Structure 1
């Protein structure tokens, strides 16, 4: 798989909407004036610029040529092709993904392929794309009747596939994970599942594109209030990024510049307050050893208790 994909509908839709908004602003026209010139409703112009709908190539040419006066033939052809790609969303997305994944997650899967870097904060558990199969099944089991067996299966398969897409593929983006220390003290599934997961996380942190920092509990209380989020950088400009937020069964992806910059600033602030990468990995491994020691003690206690019972019998 290539380092980035140029045929991603969500990414193309974003490029088109940003180009159209920039062209309108350069023209000095308001959205209402554009709508009046083309005989469209104001909501149509607004939805196109917000990326809520994909603009057709015909409507695109009406905007950029007839209204905004663009004459660059190559640029017109480029935007027209982007508009065609953006309208392939339904055909690009696997049917089971459309049926069982949220719109936000479907978009995230596309932006992950185009990202140059990903910054993620996790306050509760190891991120989905770094979860082992047993850990993923344990976390998805929390949802009980809120997810069907088929929905859980699809989400589990997507989580496991995202590891290659986000972390391990050639040309994978730089990935920075800010991990709250409190998450190290949660037992997910059972102690063996949790120990295996943390050991796997420590191993993933040795990859050259992966940077793990643990935010100590005495520094992370305020950060925890922001909830789980990821910032995906798509280009060299600071605001050329999107933010993905997730909470229980709800999620959302936003391109709003103020939200993007806000989350970048928050992440950078607490990234500097976290333990360095060497100390963070050591802390994760120490937790692995602690859990495995508890398992060994429990097993030894159970064995000795059985022997005592046999002796008494």
Structure 2
């Protein structure tokens, strides 16, 4: 697990996808008993290159991925295909100058926003808040005031503007596929007061009508569930199961789960929470009832 935030070495960026690719190549190398020097000699390169590859500092070419997999004795075609997919997505991400790069981002959000922008799908479990991509401006402002982490209103308005810009992805020509499961507590918490919360719940019902949005509610009556450990997002970049990275929110920061084995555990957790939640239709009826109950 790594704290969020982009690292830099030698002028090159270390990305979440690059670190995951490097980590998986490192695991394969260690399992094969090879040293970094042996790997470097096989590629006719220096050991420094292998260090940078395994740390995610540099993009990795497909021929190098294939050669290293051959050296490490990888015979599973799915493993090779997954690594090639990861390498390609990482290279494409590094080439793009995102709209967010001209902004001063709070709380080290560069990695997350870059990954969200590149992702094809987002599976999100939320326990206390409405997912950011579904928040109204008034809800975001109320949340920022309650959080007490902004020095002035200009900083808070920058957060509101940033969130609104991220939300455009839901309506783009290649919209983000979003499946969110929200605990009932997040719907009943009167963030900003009854009027703000009622408007937020009505907005939630509106976005649920988009074909790329799938919203479920986990009601109180469900009792114990698989998501008690806290909220997380699963970002996917290729075909089903091809590349998944997990982001977990924490106070003032966040953390990434980048290895395949641990990210698979979060996928299983999300699927379990989704099965426990009520259907999208019943979720909308519950949201309607809660909205009607909001009064001054």
Give the match for residue 291 of structure 2.
288
How many residues matched? 269
For each residue in 1:256-276, what CA deviation from the matched residue of structure 2 results, as whole angstroms up to 9, or x when unmatched? 112210110001011111111
- Return the offset for 1:233: 1.6
Give the match for residue 227 of structure 1.
230
Give the match for residue 106 of structure 1.
110
Assess if the C-alpha contact under 8 Å between 2:89 and 2:237 holds in 1. Answer: no
- Partners in 1 of 2:216 and 2:148 — Cα distance? 32
The counterpart of 1:258, out of the listed 258, 261, 264, is 261
The counterpart of 1:40, out of the listed 20, 44, 47, is 47
- Partners in 2 of 1:159 and 1:148 — Cα distance? 17
For each residue in 1:29-63, what CA deviation from the matched residue of structure 2 results, as whole angstroms up to 9, or x when unmatched? 3335336885535xx73453242x235x8xx6996
Which structure 1 residue ranges, 5 or more long, are not aligned? 1-7, 71-77, 296-313
Cα RMSD over matched residues? 3.9
- Partners in 2 of 1:230 and 1:187 — Cα distance? 23
Instruction: Indicate the SS of the match to 2:191.
Output: coil
- Return the offset for 1:130: 0.7
Structure 2 vs 1, CA of residues 148 and 24 (structure 1 numbering), >3 Å: closer, same or farther?
farther
Structure 2 vs 1, CA of residues 155 and 21 (structure 1 numbering), >3 Å: closer, same or farther?
same
Give the match for residue 7 of structure 2.
none
Structure 2 vs 1, CA of residues 212 and 66 (structure 1 numbering), >3 Å: closer, same or farther?
closer
Assess if the C-alpha contact under 8 Å between 2:177 and 2:213 holds in 1. Answer: yes
- Return the offset for 1:235: 1.6
- Partners in 2 of 1:223 and 1:152 — Cα distance? 34
- Return the offset for 1:152: 2.3
For each residue in 1:82-110, what CA deviation from the matched residue of structure 2 results, as whole angstroms up to 9, or x when unmatched? 88766558x6464554x33344x322222
Give the match for residue 172 of structure 1.
175
User: Greater relative contact order (Cα 8 A, min sep 6): structure 1 or 2?
Assistant: 2
Give the match for residue 148 of structure 2.
144
Give the match for residue 120 of structure 1.
124
- Partners in 1 of 2:122 and 2:154 — Cα distance? 29
Assess if the C-alpha contact under 8 Å between 1:198 and 1:285 holds in 2. Answer: yes
- Return the offset for 1:208: 1.4
Structure 2 vs 1, CA of residues 18 and 142 (structure 1 numbering), >3 Å: closer, same or farther?
same
- Larger Rg computed on CA atoms: 1
Structure 2 vs 1, CA of residues 247 and 164 (structure 1 numbering), >3 Å: closer, same or farther?
same
Using the size of structure 1 for normalisation, the TM-score is: 0.70
- Partners in 1 of 2:159 and 2:187 — Cα distance? 23
Give the match for residue 204 of structure 1.
207
The counterpart of 2:157, out of the listed 133, 153, 163, is 153
Structure 2 vs 1, CA of residues 156 and 248 (structure 1 numbering), >3 Å: closer, same or farther?
farther
Larger helix percent = 1
- Return the offset for 1:27: 8.5
Does 230-239 or 170-179 show the bigger shift?
A: 230-239
- Return the offset for 1:18: 7.7
The counterpart of 2:271, out of the listed 268, 273, 277, is 268
- Partners in 2 of 1:216 and 1:158 — Cα distance? 30
